[in-house]
Structure 1
Amino acid sequence: MHSHLHTPYNVNCEEIMTALDECHAKGFLYKAVGNCNDIKREVNKCLAAERYDRAKRNRDEARSNRRRIEDIWARERAADQAPNAGSENAGDSKQ
């Protein structure tokens, strides 16, 4: 069983998927002898390109989020180290 093809993620492939549906509607023998194979290959190419683009966007967004989080962590580490550095100096002057 395959996933649904007509989804918002695949709107750029809608036209070619509709053509494949129309080809399949012509009957079992029509598609059994390979008359829909070229259209099916085009659908696969289109869906693969859409999937690649979606994965690239997700990767880029994840990298951006990771950089943002690492910046926050760096600021928190710097803020945690700044008060400790002052208290260590104060402790040295009391001795």
Structure 2
Amino acid sequence: RHAECAEIMSALEECHAKGFLYKSLGNCNDTKKKVSDCLSAARMKRIQDNREAARAKKEEYKQKIRELHKSLGLDD
């Protein structure tokens, strides 16, 4: 699902596979932070893409309404 973060996520899984004591001593914290940062960046990009798509769709809708009003002679 998160292809851009797959490598870092695999590294975290490998770190966790080293055992409870290894990860409980904080040896995986840096990798965990990198995963969180990567997922956050991916989420922000997805949010931005969705906003741009919504703006484009809204503008397209407004344009269709303007064209409809013009064709019906309802120009302002």
Same fold (TM over 0.5): yes
Q: For the residues of structure 1 that align with 2:69 and 2:28, how far apart are their CA atoms? A: 61
Between the two structures, name the one with larger relative contact order (CA 8 Å, sep ≥ 6). Answer: 2
- Which consecutive residues of structure 2, in runs of 5 or more, have no partner in the other structure? none
Match of 1:42? 34
The TM-score, its normalising length taken from structure 1, stands at: 0.74
Q: For the residues of structure 1 that align with 2:43 and 2:70, how far apart are their CA atoms? A: 40
One-letter amino acid of the counterpart of residue 28, structure 2: C
* SS of corresponding position for 2:27: coil
Cα deviation 1:25-70 (Å, max 9, x = unaligned): 0011111111000000000000000011111111101100110010
Identity of aligned residues (%): 43
Deviating beyond 3 angstroms after TM superposition, the runs of 4 or more aligned structure 1 residues are none
- Which consecutive residues of structure 1, in runs of 5 or more, have no partner in the other structure? 1-6, 83-95
* SS of corresponding position for 2:73: helix
Tell which structure's C-alpha radius of gyration is larger.
1
